[in-house]
Each structure stands twice: as structure tokens, then as C-alpha cells.
A and B are shown apart, each in its own frame.
Chain A
Amino acid sequence: MKIAFISDIHSNLEALKAVLGEIDKENISLIVNLGDLVGYNASPRECVDLVKQRQIISILGNHDRAAIELKFAEGFNILAYQALAWSAKSLAPEHKRFLKKLEHTRMLWDRFLVFHGAPGNPDAYLSFLFQAKKAFNYMRQKTPGVRIGFFGHTHHRAVWQRDVRGKVSRLEMSQDDLLLDPEQMYLINPGSVGQPRQRQWKASYLIFSNEPETIQFRSVAYDLHSAQAKIRAAQLPEYLAERLETGV
């Protein structure tokens, strides 16, 4: 069984299509979207439609929630707020109904915990050791037996590991593939499809394979100029177009 994990699409249709195109070349059983389907870029409706049409399992991100209720965007900075307000205005009621039905934390097949920011909280980040420890503790208490969590939000690829003695560490990824140890717990972030922030512009995603459990980080080129042109045509802040190119 192979599962594709995608996250932080952020209304970038070109990047989403490129990722799905690559996923379609493989024998993938399921695609899971870890939240933030909308915001920042200029194709929110099209991205929601495509995710619905492809029956991609999705969870709620903080931008998705803010697109449904703008008050949740009040803490966003002026750039993110502007783009989110535009997304919210662009979405039709059926798109918002779709987003509204999404949960922010979900258990999949009693085996994986999927969430956007941190378990139980789409706004919180999982960037530092204490946050990873907190997330592992949540899993051990609330979802005992679940060893692997997938999350997004930071737009950075990451793998956190908790060994049998309870030691939590972030794995330095020297290569894109990793064989998971069945004795250990993991928190895995596939990076962002629509706004990668790892100083490279390609859309990022991840393939999980069973028996043996393996993850593969992938990235794919997409029609960057088209995505940028749409941002400019929508009169969204210019920086949002520029950053796609630099991967910031």
C-alpha cells in the first residue's frame, strides 16, 4: 500500500496539478491533504474543486478555517490576511461548505494521526523539540498504539522521532528516503505543495509505503509563471508571487 501525503496547497492550482500528475504515475492507494487548501495564491476555488473531485482525504488548516470565518484571520499578518480575504471572497458557498466539514485532527485507519499544525490545534506549530514532545505525548495519551503522525503548517519538510526510551529528536535528512523503525514513533511533515519555504521552489509532497514502512520526500516542478501571473492578475501582494520563485 502506498499513500501520498500533501499539505499547504494554498490555492496554487499549478503546483497541485503537477503533484497529482506525479502521484498518478505510481500505484498510490490514497491521497491525504494535511490542510491549508486555500490562502496566499490565486486559485482557491479550483483547488477546492480538484480536491473534491479527486476525493482526497482532507483535514482543516488554519487558512481554511479563516476562509470560512474571517475572524480567525485577525491574527494573520497583512500579507496573509489580504490573500485570505481574497480567497474567502472568491469561494462559493459550496466550497465553504466543503471546508466547513473538515476536521482539524483525524485518525486514519487506527494507524495514523493526521493534523495541520499540532494535534488538536490547527494554529499551533510543530517546529521545536518541546512541541514535538508535546505532540508525541498527545498521541501516547489520546491515540495509544498510533506510532505515526503526519502534519503540515510550517511549509518545511521534517521528521521527528521518538525512540523506545522516550528520547525525541529531529532527524537530519541526508537523503529523500527513510526506512521507518517499527519500534519508534514518528511525526512527519511533507513540506508544502503550493508555497514551499525551503529555499527551493518545487512543489513538495511525500509517499508513504507499507511493508517495510518507508517515506520518500518528493518535489516536482510546476508552471510557476502561470501561478505568479494569476497572483498578479488578482492584484494580490506582489511579494506573494516573488516568494514562489525563491521558495521563501
Chain B
Amino acid sequence: MMKTYQKECKLKDGSVVLLRPLVAEDREGLITFFRSLPEELRLYLRHDVTDAKIIESWTENIDYDHVFPILAFADERIVGDVSLHRIPFGWKRHIGTVRVAVDPDYHDKGLGTLLIHEIVELASEFGLEKLWAELPLAFPAAIAVFRKAGFSSKAVVEGLVKDLRGRNTDVVIMVCDIGTQYDF
């Protein structure tokens, strides 16, 4: 992959981040990034990202047709990770799932919104029709970020997942209709 496959973006506070797809050389940086996330955030990720082997399996098996991961860098440090997951066949072939994690130092700077916007745009390029995201109902700020990017809440599943203390908590399912993103 060419080195210039990237773009610079400005955040709300004027700081600059570099966005580019994940490459194999990002292994160490990604491990450091995920380990730096607070436990309460890591809990909502799909994998145990503190396990270096998990990260290694991602960086060694990059397949952009199934998972398109984009990293955000600030001064060469990973500060955000968003990924678009696709199932090329079957009844969900037109749907992409979005997963995002942002360094707490970069919360409230517009990075989450920027990353999700990027994925919405990419989903359109990939010919997807809908995007799907699942968020804890207890994270209104994250829900607001998705809403700003064009997602709307479709359902709340009560008590579906467990928090750090083992309590069952609610999950909100949000969907973005890609076509309507081009209304502006």
C-alpha cells in the first residue's frame, strides 16, 4: 500500500490528525492504543484487545473486503480506530457494521464524529445501503456522536449486556440509511 494513502483532518480544537487504513506495521501502535483505553471502554469492544495475539491476528490478516479499519494518528500515536465490517453474501450483504474507539484525551474534539463520517462516506463508495451500530444506552455522548453522523436509534434492548460490575445494561441499536446521507 502506498505511503500517501492517507489524509489530514483538523479537529475542533485546531489540532491535526492523520487518517489512514490499518497496515501490518501498526501492530505495536495498536496494542499500545488499546491498552491505554480505560477498562470501562474496553469492556464494550468485541475482543480482548489487551491480548497482543488478537491485535496480531488483525494486522497479519488484513482483508479490506471484510473489514476496513481506519486509524487516526496524532504525532504518530494512534488516537482513534474505526472499522467497517461487511458480510459480502446473504441477507445482510448491503449492511455494514461500525465499531469505533477513541482515546479519551481526544473525546469532545470531534474525532469520533470525524471517524464515523469517514466510514459513512466509505460505505457509500462500497455500495452499502445501511450501517449498523450497537451502543450502551448509558453512553449518551457516544449516541449523540452517531446521531450527528446520520444514525438514528431503532431499538433498545433492555438488560442485554453486562457492565464492569456484572449488572445487566441496555443496548441501543442505531442504523444509518446511507442514501439519505446525501440529502445535504
Contact = CB atoms under 8 A, between A and B. Distances in A.
Contacts, number: 59
Given A127-B182, A128-B183, A78 B6 contact: yes
A81 interface: yes
A108 interface: no
Interface in B87-145: 118, 121-122, 124-127
Interface of A: 74, 76-82, 85-86, 124-125, 127-128, 130-131, 154, 197, 199, 235-239, 243, 246, 248
Nearest to A81: B7
Nearest to A131: B183
B125 A77 contact: yes
Contacts of A237: 5
B127 A197 contact: yes
B182 A82 contact: no
Q: Which of A78, A85, A235, A248 counts the most B-chain CB atoms under 10 A from its CB?
A: A78
A107 B160 CA distance: 58
Given A77-B118, A238-B64, 14 more contacts: A77-B121, A77-B122, A79-B122, A82-B4, A82-B6, A85-B4, A85-B7, A125-B182, A127-B183, A128-B179, A237-B5, A239-B126, A246-B127, A248-B127
B118 A78 contact: yes
14 contacts: A74-B9, A76-B7, A77-B125, A78-B70, A78-B122, A79-B122, A82-B5, A82-B7, A127-B179, A130-B183, A131-B183, A237-B5, A243-B127, A248-B125
A78 B5 contact: yes
